[in-house]
């Protein structure tokens, strides 16, 4: 392994008409690390990954994958890459083995080497005993595993995983998260996109937070959490008069931010134990009753809230 960054993104831009999907994104991913792009739907994560996979041509900027430019050396980029798309991209009328064999050929594997690698991947994804069943008959989770298996066939140095856990059961999700960690252990670099804060927090060495096509923060989990100053997030619901109560809460000592979304009022505070009694008292004074309280220690969601003024939701 050299010091060459696995992925180097330089001021990437992409627009679709008036929609500026990616606006000057730059970041760097070292070899052997898991880098997560975190952001809500429509933040520009998939567009960024599509450009990095040579599926979309950037309007401006460039990126290098294992030293190969996505503009000038697409074959080199594609050979170094394994891509796990957000949607399941498999031939449902072929078996898992036939799918893997076909995709292996597309990655220039042939003959005995291909056959051996297909068997290895079937073992990795735990589907060797059902390899000769058509993919169309698989459950959603099994399809997801084959979807990942395709990207591993040629032992790529870098793997992109675009929201691989969307719409699957908790057990399959766990399997996938574990397999991502195993890939890292085997020395692969993983670029992982998600809108699930917990996944990014659990998996990543570095996290880039995207919103409205911009990379608004980038760093380790701890570095990002420090951005909100270790503040605690308190989610409250009220029976009424939230609009009257919120300005009063902003005046409470120790409260740094008050915002509301979907009927939930979010308060960022230095210490929840000190602040909570005042919040209850203020609410009572404004003829409102707090019906639920949810306390969150500092995390990426709080960071997103801090940076955008909005909660990170689906």
Partner 1 sequence: MKILDIALKDMTRSFRSVFAVFFMLGVPLLVTGMFYFMFGNIAGEGGFNLPKTKVAIANLDEGGPKFQVNPRNIPGGKKADTMGELVVSILQSDEMSDLIEVMLADSAAAARAAVDNQSAQVAIIIPPDFSDKFADVNEDAVIEFYQDPTLTIGPAIMKSILNRFLDGMAGVKIAVTVFLDEADSEETALAGQVVQLYLKDSLAESDDPEAELLEVRLPTGTTRNKEEESQNLLLSIVGPIMGGMMVFYAFFTGASTAQSLLKEEEERTLPRLFTTPTSQAAILSGKLLSVFMTICVQVAVLIVAAHWIFGIQWGEVSSVISMAAGIIFSASSFGVFINSFLKNTKQGGVLFGGVLTVTGMLGMISIFAMDSPSAARMGETVSLLVPQGWAVRGLMNSMNGEPLESVLINLLVSLLWSIVFFAVGVWRFNRRYA
Task: Spell out, one character per residue from 9 to 48, where the chain touches partner 1: x when CB under 8 A holds, - when not.
Answer: ----------------------------------------
Q: Which is nearer to partner 1, 60 or 93 (CB)?
A: 93
Q: Which is nearer to partner 1, 146 or 288 (CB)?
A: 146
Q: Which of 12, 37, 83, 146 binds partner 1 (CB under 8 A)?
A: 83
Query: Could you tell me the smallest distance in angstroms from the CB atom of residue 31 to partner 1?
Result: 20
Task: Spell out, one character per residue from 145 to 174, where the chain touches partner 1: x when CB under 8 A holds, - when not.
Answer: -----x------------------------
Q: Which segment (106-114, 174-182, 193-201, 229-237) binds partner 1 by CB under 8 A?
A: 106-114
Task: Decide: is 246 part of the binding site for partner 1 (CB under 8 A).
Answer: no
Query: Could you tell me the smallest distance in angstroms from the CB atom of residue 97 to partner 1?
Result: 13
Task: Decide: is 75 part of the binding site for partner 1 (CB under 8 A).
Answer: yes
Q: Which is nearer to partner 1, 13 or 134 (CB)?
A: 134
Q: Which segment (26-34, 83-91, 198-206, 232-240) binds partner 1 by CB under 8 A?
A: 83-91
Kindly write down the DSSP assignment for every residue of the chain, as one continuous string: --SS-SEEEEEEEEEETTEEEEEEEEEEE-TT-EEEEE--TTSSHHHHHHHHTTSS--SEEEEEETTEETTT-HHHHHHHEEEE-SS--S-TTSBHHHHHHHHHHHTT--HHHHHHHHHHHHHHTT-GGGTTSBGGGS-HHHHHHHHHHHHHTT--SEEEEESTTTT--HHHHHHHHHHHHHHHHTT-EEEEEES-HHHHHHH-SEEEEEETTEEEEEE-HHHHHHTTTTPEEEEEEESS-HHHHHHHHHTSTTEEEEEEETTEEEEEES-HHHHHHHHHHHHHHTT--EEEEEEE-S-HHHHHHHHHSS----
Query: Could you tell me the smallest distance in angstroms from the CB atom of residue 23 to partner 1?
Result: 23
Q: Which segment (72-80, 178-186, 222-230, 297-305) binds partner 1 by CB under 8 A?
A: 72-80
Q: Which is nearer to partner 1, 147 or 175 (CB)?
A: 147
Task: Decide: is 87 part of the binding site for partner 1 (CB under 8 A).
Answer: yes
CB 151 within 8 A of CB 159: yes
What residue ranges bind partner 1 (CB under 8 A)? Answer: 53-55, 75, 78-79, 81, 83, 85, 87-94, 98, 102-103, 105-108, 150
């Amino acid at each position: 392994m050299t010091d060459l960054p696995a992925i180097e993104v330089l001021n990437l831009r992409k627009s679709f008409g008036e929609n500026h999907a990616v606006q000057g994104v730059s970041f760097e991913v070292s070899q052997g690390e898991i880098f997560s792009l975190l952001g809500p739907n429509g933040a520009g994560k998939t567009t960024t990954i599509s450009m990095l996979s040579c599926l979309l041509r950037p309007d401006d900027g460039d990126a290098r994958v294992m030293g190969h430019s996505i503009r000038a050396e697409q074959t080199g980029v594609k050979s170094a890459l394994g891509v796990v798309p957000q949607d399941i991209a498999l031939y449902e009328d072929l078996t898992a083995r036939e799918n893997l064999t076909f995709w292996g050929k597309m990655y220039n594997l042939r003959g005995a080497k291909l056959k051996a690698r297909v068997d290895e991947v079937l073992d990795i994804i735990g589907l060797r005993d059902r390899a000769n069943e058509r993919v169309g008959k698989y459950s959603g989770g099994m399809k997801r595993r084959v979807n990942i298996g395709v990207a591993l066939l040629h032992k790529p140095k870098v793997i992109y995983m675009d929201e691989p856990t969307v719409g699957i059961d908790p057990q399959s999700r766990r399997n996938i998260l574990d397999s991502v960690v195993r890939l890292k252990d085997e020395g692969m670099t993983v670029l992982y996109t998600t809108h699930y804060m917990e996944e990014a927090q659990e998996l990543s060495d570095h996290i880039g937070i995207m919103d409205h096509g911009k990379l608004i923060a980038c760093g380790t989990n701890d570095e990002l959490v420090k951005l909100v100053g270790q503040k605690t997030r308190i989610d409250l619901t009220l029976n009424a008069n939230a609009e009257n109560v919120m300005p009063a809460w902003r005046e409470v000592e120790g409260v740094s931010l008050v915002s509301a979304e979907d009927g939930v009022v979010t308060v960022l505070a230095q210490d929840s134990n000190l602040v909570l009694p005042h919040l209850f008292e203020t609410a009572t004074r404004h003829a409102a009753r707090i019906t639920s309280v949810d306390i969150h220690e500092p995390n990426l969601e709080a960071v997103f809230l801090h940076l955008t003024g909005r909660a990170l939701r689906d």
